[in-house]
Amino acid sequence: MIAWMNWTPSVAIFFAVIAGLLAVMTVYELVSPSVERKGFLPIATTRGDRLFIGLLSAAYIHLTFLAVSDVTLWVALAVSVAWMVVLLRWG
């Protein structure tokens, strides 16, 4: 039935992590709704906005690493996670 989707474990983990992030954010948002605020980003953002910006920039960080260097992508992942934390906290 879903054989044609060609699932691989790594992609499954990837989507599970994204889904998990969304679920956690939803619950967090229900427990304590976030207020729009202005951080170092040029626009006022809510927590969800910062998550989206973080995910999108993480994708670009990974692509940049792939394009310009041969280092393992774990480095890119680490950079992305660090950036995400900075963004969520001070963005």
Partner 1 sequence: MDRIPDNRAWWLVLPVFLLVAFSALIPLMTVVNYSVQDIFGPGQAYFVGTEWFREVLTDQRLQDSLLRQFLFSGAVLLIQIPLGIGVALLMPKSGIKGSLCLILVAIPLLIPWNVVGTIWQIFARGDIGLFGWGVNQLGVDYNYTGNTVDAWLTVLLMDVWHWTPLVALLCYSGLRAIPEAFYQAAEIDRASRWAVFRYIQLPRLKSVLVIAVLLRFMDSFMIYSEPFVLTGGGPGSSTTFLSQTLTTMAVGQFDLGRAAAFSLVYFLIVLLISWLFFTAITHADKDT
Partner 2 sequence: MNRPARSKNVAIVVFIVLLLTPVYWLLNMSFKTNQEILGGLTLWPENFTLDNYVVIFTDPSWYSGYLNSMTYVSINVVITLLVALPAAYAFSRYRFLGDKHLFFWLLSNRMAPPAVFLLPFFQLYSSIGLFDTHIAVALAHCLFNVPLAVWILEGFMKGVPREYDEMAYIDGYSFPRFFVKVFLPMIRSGIGVTAFFVFMFSWVELLLARTLTAVDAQPIGAIMTRTIGASGIDWGVLAAAGVLTIIPGLLVIWFVRNHVAKGFALGRV
- The residues that touch partner 1, with contacts defined as CB under 8 A, are 3-8, 10-11, 14-15, 30, 43-44, 56, 59-60, 63, 66-67, 73
Q: Which of 11, 14, 15, 26 binds partner 2 (CB under 8 A)?
A: 26
Q: Which does 35 bind (CB under 5 to 8 A by kind): partner 1, partner 2, none?
A: none
17-79-28-51 Cα dihedral, nearest 10 degrees: -90
Nearest distance from C-beta of residue 4 to partner 2, angstroms: 4
Q: Which does 75 bind (CB under 5 to 8 A by kind): partner 1, partner 2, none?
A: none
Residues 6+ apart with CB under 8 A from 51: 21, 25, 84, 88
At 37, phi and psi to the nearest 5? Answer: -145, 165
Q: Tell me which residue of 63, 52, 61, 67 sits closest to 82, measured CA to CA.
A: 61
Q: Which does 28 bind (CB under 5 to 8 A by kind): partner 2, partner 1, none?
A: none
Q: Tell me which residue of 58, 51, 56 sits closest to 88, measured CA to CA.
A: 51
Nearer to partner 2, 53 or 76 (CB): 53
